[in-house]
Chain A
Amino acid sequence: MAEAHDYKAIGTRPVRPDGVDKVTGRANFGADLNLPNMLHGKMLRSPHAHARIKRVDVSRALAMDGVYAACSGGDFPTNERTTDLAKNCMARDKALYHGHAVAAVAARTPYIAERALDLIEVEYEPLAPVLDVDAAMADGAVLVDENLRTNGDASKPPSNVAAIVKFERGDVEQGFAEADVVVEVDCRVPTAHQGYIEPHACTATINEEGEATVWCCTQGHFDVRSLTANVLGKSVGEIKVIPSEIGGGFGGKTIIYLEPIAVKLSEMSGRPVKMVMTREEVFRATGPTSATHCRAKVGAKRDGKITAASAWLAYEAGAFAGAPVGPGCMSILAPYDLEHFSIEGHDVLVNKPKVAAYRAPGAPQAMHAMESAIDDLARELGMDPIDLRLKNSADEGTQAPYGPVFPAIGFRKCLEATKAHPNYTKPKAEGTGRGVAAGFWFNIGMQSSAEARLSEDGTVTVVEGNPDIGGSRASMCLMAAETLGVPYETVRTHVGDTESTGFCNVTGGSRTTFATGLAVVQACEDIIAQCKQRAAATWDVDVEQVDWADGQAIPKPGVNVDANPLSLRDIAKNAGRTGGPILGRASVNAQGAGASFSVNFADVKVDRETGKIDVLSFTGIQDAGTAIHPAYVEGQMQGGAVQGLGWALNEEYIYDENGVMENAGFLDYRVPVASDMPMIDTQIIEVPNPSHPYGVRGVGETPIVAPLAATSNAARDALGFRIADLPLSPPRVLEAIDNQADA
């Protein structure tokens, strides 16, 4: 494979092809579509965190002038195969969290629809809610689901613990016995929301033959198609999904909430139905990620060699099983080469919204615990935290705690780059604290399809099926241009709907540039193969005697052809005479996604009067494999860092004792604003992934993993003692300072 510096297109920073439409207001997002004769749908949501639904009567709402349809759980197929997702879209016999959908209406205007909700009669039998993992795991806890048994074991009594997962190696007791120093942290991280700025939105229409079309903002329209079909009891082929531009997702738009309801209301009314969530609904009923309780323990010899590590993790799943505790367990020790460890994770139901994926799902909370412990260990040993990590770091050939042996990985290079970074070698300012932490994410491959269509003037249209959430069209164009040997400007990438392109898994798992990129490269290679055949036919030589270089077919060295090279443009122009249109295609199930490691460090200052922590500087160093469009790689690193900083410093769902979220708006669920943050310095490390033609690893998720512990460790350094729980919000920090002064 070529070295990065040999690339012509890859590694450059051109303007993205969809850019102009996004800076002028032309780009159409989820709520921007309006259809003739369209109705507006609104959802009625449970006012109780836990209640039996005895009766739902929509008749008075339906009788209201301007209301055309109303539905509730009874209008959707319900049997033993009904999925949790279907029950989350519309409650059946129980409302499981405050904000759970229980009915919906469609009316001429959103205002009428909202007033009609007041006319829906619901008879509830309120039940006591269970609101955190400790309460949910206690003996005699209220059960969220009376039929749930841990790991599906029918011999066990019902429990809120949906699953227990374990990862072990060696003899952890022996490992701790060998240690000279053992440290332990016990910490809680509250619920946080992805906080995408665009609320969920969709418009649906269905005809008399049952063929539905859905427009929506999603990270994966093929998944919207199959999930909507599942909830409605329809076949996948009856539903077409057209993705709009997407205003952020971070994992939260990989599932569905509104789409089947809008289709149902359209079916009932015979008219298109648009549904748009309010911000309050987004907070109460979508996302978020798990609140967690984690314990991490690590022991080492005096020289810093870690002899054992263990972790106990409990993750809130919300009202249905499926907390990302598995990936939490699998990532928590991934940066280290260990002989003895044990990890146990718990997936725990509580009466809160069903969690959705959030950027490296499960890893930030788990690694916050372990990286805090590693930091304490470095202090106990009197070692530099980077040196301690270098002494124990995973590298090529290390068996990951979750099983596979790492191929080439960039963790050591990230550590070495940190030690040499000017922000790290520079002494911290007086009265400030510095904290370091490691980050990791697996990244995934999975299925993607792509077409590369050669137009008659030699320009190329790439069509693939991954919504562009942060510049992926530009990355696809760069990889296509590089492969074909043509200028970036001659390639355009379009995101096709479910009928105009082949299947693609979601834009998630940091897979798009890796897996869909692989499909795009292969589709372009297909074009090249066809172009070489056309050239061979034109020159009357064997195709084996034709090469492809710099965007043109040339005779192989030594092949005597009395003709000029044929450019992509020449071949395109003559395609009609040489065999017809040229269309490259590829579909892949991409294997070998490359793990991405990072090191982050922060300098913070704590105001001891108010408890406010200011981030003075933040540096992210991460292995991208190869940075296809470095500006968007930096953007992922910076954006993930600031999301992580928000989680570390401020963001949390605040519940009252009845399970009602008290801060369901951006005023009180305070995400970072520009004036809270410094510039975010980045350094991209490039250790190419051997499983991708250009070495791509995927970069989107790792950036959010390390900031939690880096911030906690920096605060520890500034304060002189550790606050284990997050967020490090002014009230918590102030209380800890006061308690410390009293002690």
Chain B
Amino acid sequence: MSRVHVTLSVNGEPREMLCEAHQSLLDALRDELGMTGTKEGCATGDCGACSVLADGRLVCSCLMLGVEAEGMDITTIEGIAQGSELHVVQRKFLEAAALQCGICTPGFIVAAKALLDQNPNPDETTIRYWLAGNLCRCTGYDKIVRAVQDAAQELAYEA
């Protein structure tokens, strides 16, 4: 089976990968680039564990083909912290105990960052609807929503 050469940027770094035509971006990231921070929970776009940013837009990487990422800027969970400094959303998740098992956490953090990038002051309802594409079975969402609220508050304070 012939594979397709794909050139893209991942977390600001130029990368190349050989994808099978049917391979999802999620599988390409995990299996071709060895970036396993992005998780598979369903592979049908229902759980959000595989959330990444594609040219800044929040997508389920299981619903995109690897070959579709040609020329795109992809941001994964591995690219959210800046060097040794955690992103405020990551820090607030830790401080608020907003994770239990942690499998959904990469997706939630990517999604929450995307929200705050475009709406730095969301109300609770906005946060809940924005994160409605990410399933968490452990926390009941309470502490996740609070962590995002805390992150927004800190960003507002810094601004």
Q: Which residues of A pack against B, CB within 8 Å?
A: 13, 15-16, 18-20, 22-29, 31-32, 34, 109, 111, 194-199, 245-250, 276, 278-279, 469-471, 629, 631-632, 634-636, 638-643, 665-667, 671-677, 679-680
Contacts and interface: CB of A to CB of B under 8 A. Distances in A.
B10 to A, nearest CB: 12
A34 B30 CA distance: 10
B89 to A, nearest CB: 8
A724 B127 CA distance: 34
Interface of B: 20, 22, 30-31, 34-44, 46-47, 49, 76-78, 80-81, 86, 90, 93-97, 99-106, 109, 124-125, 127-129, 131-146
Nearest to B37: A25
B44 A279 contact: yes
Nearest to B45: A667
Given A198-B41, A279-B41, A638-B142, A22 B135 contact: no
Contacts of B125: 675
Contact of B141 (A19, A250, A677): A677
Contact of B47 (A31, A197, A629): A197
B138 A674 contact: no
15 contacts: A19-B99, A23-B105, A34-B34, A194-B137, A197-B101, A199-B40, A248-B101, A248-B137, A278-B43, A643-B140, A671-B137, A673-B133, A674-B141, A674-B145, A680-B142
A247 B97 contact: no
Please classify the interface of chain B as helix (H, G, I), strand (E, B), loop, or mixed, using the class held by over half of its residues: loop
Contact of A29 (B39, B80, B81, B99): B39
B26 to A, nearest CB: 11
B78 to A, nearest CB: 5
Contacts of B94: 15-16, 19-20, 23
A679 B142 contact: yes
A31 B101 contact: no
Contacts of B145: 674, 679
- 8 shortest interchain CB distances as A-B pairs: A25-B37, A247-B103, A642-B140, A22-B102, A25-B77, A470-B100, A666-B46, A638-B140
Contact of B137 (A16, A629, A643): A643
Given A195-B137, A471-B97, A638 B102 contact: no
Given A20-B90, A671-B135, 17 more contacts: A23-B105, A23-B109, A196-B101, A197-B101, A247-B41, A247-B101, A250-B137, A629-B97, A631-B97, A631-B143, A639-B140, A665-B42, A665-B46, A666-B42, A671-B137, A675-B128, A676-B132
A680 B138 contact: no
Contact of B37 (A26, A198, A249): A26
Contact of B97 (A16, A26, A199, A673): A16
Given A23-B93, A24-B77, A666 B47 contact: yes
A589 B46 CA distance: 42
A109 B1 CA distance: 12
In the complex, which of the residues B31, B39, B137, B140 has the most CB atoms of chain A within 10 Å of its own CB atom? B140
B37 A674 contact: no
Given A16-B94, A671-B137, A680-B140, A111 B40 contact: no
A195 B104 CA distance: 12
Nearest to A30: B103
A29 B20 CA distance: 24
B149 to A, nearest CB: 10
B135 A199 contact: no
Contacts of A196: 101, 103, 137
Contacts of B141: 638, 642, 672-674, 677
A639 B36 contact: no
Contact of A674 (B20, B93, B128): B128
